[in-house]
Amino acid sequence: MRTRSADAGLVVTTAEGAGAPGQPASALALVGVSAGYGRIPIVHDVSIEIRRGQIVALVGSNGSGKSTLMKSVIGLLPALSGTILLAGLDVTAAQPEARVARGLGYVPQVNDVFNRLDVRENLEMGAYRMRRGQVAGRIDEILEAFPTLKPLIRRNARQLSGGQRKLVAIARVLMTSPSMLLLDEPTAGLAPQLAEEILTTQVAVLAELGCGVLLVEQRVAEAFRVADHAYVLVNGHIYLGGRPAEVIETPGFDRLMLGLDLAVPAPGPSAAPGPGQESAG
């Protein structure tokens, strides 16, 4: 049943209208998604929408379920309930391969490069779905955008520093020019300067090119500076959602970031209007 790929999926028009005039198209929409390991959900009833060109930050304490959510979006974990729409197409039951073929890109938090492959081969794997003739040219383009990788191109990924690895991982995911990108803590363990550069340069440029970005971050301040919209995940539930400036000002935000429930959940966060609507409003 799960082998049916996105090709068999239904084209669904979201409530907001996938291509409503004046608004960029929906890149990714999660509708009431629960996900977890085995049959035990870790993330409950999450609804988020990301439009093309938008950066949405997802923050929360350790163990709040951010990575679990990301894995279920890429398809490495099954969604236990709910619907995942990729550019309006239902991919809830699709394999990760099929989602990638539909323009989804994913940079995991850890194990983000192929250790046994060199940098060039890592980039080639990012272009696995691309026509063979185009790969070499695309690698040259990518290396222009990431000049620091040029001298490392034949270096084994295992021998790279943490920052270099992360750059390789981001460069690899960009090989196919994804329309929707999942970045799971791209700056974890990096020097502040490099982290700043990745967020404000790489990620922001991506969004300008029309890519939707779902960004999981520990560095809340930096993430909120580039994000158009932010959500706070606590114990697998979305507690807050809104413009970054509003979210960070919300009373109790610090408590939520420590993973502590507020006595009363914020009013209907997961039913809150999508970011697209707000940005339009």
Among positions 12, 20, 76, 257, the unique one binding other proteins when judged by CB under 8 A: 76
Q: Can you tell me the distance from the alpha carbon of 130 to that of 211, in angstroms, rounded to the nearest whole number?
A: 18
Q: Which stretch binds other proteins (CB under 8 A): 11-19, 84-92, 124-132, 244-252?
A: 124-132
Q: Is 78 in the site for other proteins (CB under 8 A)?
A: yes
Q: Is 108 in the site for other proteins (CB under 8 A)?
A: yes
CB of 34 to other proteins, least distance (A): 14
Q: Is 259 in the site for other proteins (CB under 8 A)?
A: no
> CA neighbours within 13 Å on the CB side: how many for 208?
8
Sheet of strand 229-234: strand arrangement: 104-107, 180-184, 212-216, 55-60, 229-234, 237-242
Q: Identify the CA nearest to 169 among candidates 212, 105, 227.
A: 105
CB of 19 to other proteins, least distance (A): 25
Among positions 8, 17, 19, 115, the unique one binding other proteins when judged by CB under 8 A: 115
Q: Is 57 in the site for other proteins (CB under 8 A)?
A: no
Q: Is 181 in the site for other proteins (CB under 8 A)?
A: no
Which residue number, 30 or 248, has a Cβ lying nearer to other proteins? 30
Residues 11, 52, 274, CA angle at the centre, nearest 5°? 75
Count of residues that bind other proteins according to CB under 8 A: 34
Q: Is 176 in the site for other proteins (CB under 8 A)?
A: yes
Positions in 213-232 near other proteins (CB under 8 A): none
Which residue number, 17 or 137, has a Cβ lying nearer to other proteins? 137
Q: Is 154 in the site for other proteins (CB under 8 A)?
A: no
Among positions 30, 69, 100, 139, the unique one binding other proteins when judged by CB under 8 A: 100
CB of 36 to other proteins, least distance (A): 8
Which residue number, 60 or 178, has a Cβ lying nearer to other proteins? 178
Among positions 124, 217, 222, 228, the unique one binding other proteins when judged by CB under 8 A: 124
In contact, 109 and 216? CB cutoff 8 Å: yes
Among positions 172, 219, 229, 237, the unique one binding other proteins when judged by CB under 8 A: 172
Binding site for other proteins (CB under 8 A): 37-40, 74-78, 95-97, 100-101, 106, 108, 111-117, 121, 124-126, 128-129, 132, 156, 158, 172, 176
